[in-house]
Structure 1
Amino acid sequence: MAGSQLRLSSSLHESVREEILNRIGNGTYQPEALIPSTAMLGQEFGVSPITIKRALRDLQAAGILVSIAGKGTYVKKQTRILRKLDVAMRSVEGMTIQLISVTRDKISDPTMLTFGPPKGAMLCVRKVIFADGAPLMYDATYLSSDVEDEIVDEFGEQFVTNALKHHGISVVNTDLIIDAAPAVGAVEEVFGIPTGYPMLRRFYKFTTTDSMVTIFGVVQAPFDRLACTLSIPTSRK
């Protein structure tokens, strides 16, 4: 072997991946630092470029490394925002909203279908929520086509409950489902992440004081950018 000795695991690319992770963990490769090229790593470990590329691809999908065309592969700086789980999705200081689109779509996600939404097309308001200038959450909100245009417009500019409150509508019940799934579609471009990157998803259903207004939606964030805390009171007998 031309350079460093690999500790062989189940396959060569997994051994390379483990060694790179070890170097990141012990500080050999610092956050935001450029790691050696594929050719250099291949020569050092005595393996083919294909093996190196496969190991790097795994680490990119896991959010450990990021590749920039024409520059190389860097160790990704791990910054995660910790915030209280806000089931009402109210505005938070320092956060801004950018409207992406308003379309008419059917709800097809199997997880959201457990809420029992209407089978027909609904208005879907998609927006990105930023914190400190960086995209933090991608929100897709579904509401009845009968909802006033003014409310729909405000959904693209405000948090859901704030827009409802402005029109005298309150949320009386909230249903939540929290899961994890690989990134697909628009979220890849919004967050600059590869296909399959792990996402934290929070599905919600808001039942309101207006029988004609029930809100369905999903908020997504890369698993390494957002963590939520939850306080549950313990009843005393």
Structure 2
Amino acid sequence: MPPGGPGAAPYDEERGSPYDEELGVDERTQVLVAGGGPAGATAATLLARQGFDVTLLERDRFPRYHIGESLLPSLLPVLDVMGAREAVERHGFTRKTGAFYGWSGQEWQLRFDTSDRPAAYSFQVIRSEFDHLLLEHARAQGVRVREETQVRRVGFDGYRTTSATWTSRYGRAGQTHFRCLVDASGRAGVLAARQLRTRRFHDVFRNVAAWGYCAAPRPCRTHRRARSASSPCPSTDESGPSPSTTAPSASAW
């Protein structure tokens, strides 16, 4: 039985065992990235493609659930620079050609196939799959990825960050020394929220939302008619603009 007891992730020849740390407890890297979500994976990939030695520490084991599925066309040039565009296209996410809004009795449409946009479409993604794809792409570009490894504290030399202490799910602890740090830990905020306490919240965003998902909703006829004929998106029932509507105490996307 692997460390962690029943239900622990099995050994994977390509990704390695989650408890098999091939690096020592006191390691060095040029750039340390804290967090393996889209921001961390993107930063790590771009740096690795420029020849830097990059280590990425991610608290969770991918794939993992995350909300935030609707992406914009500005994503595609970033995927091109990362070298990840082909993998994302090949995965088969639903293409999104715009948006249709029905708010408070008013309706309007936003189209992506205009000359001022970098692409005529984007994607509706399943974040667990999309984030996993980007993290695996970072690994393929030479990033040293450590999943189920959480940064606990960042060490300073004066005003400069120099090291990070971390622990793994299986009880291993260590320290990584670096020249540069990318804090992509998101809401957890290794530096801003937990350590330096410099994070500030805008009053407008001090709110809470409960959310859920609709199972296999039927395409709205208005949105189907609104699809641009010049869109490169295949004519399927799933593709087209994303609808967004509101009710007195809720909204749907």
TM-score (normalised: structure 1) = 0.21
Q: Which has the higher contact order (CA 8 A, sep 6+)?
A: 2
TM-score (normalised: structure 2) = 0.21
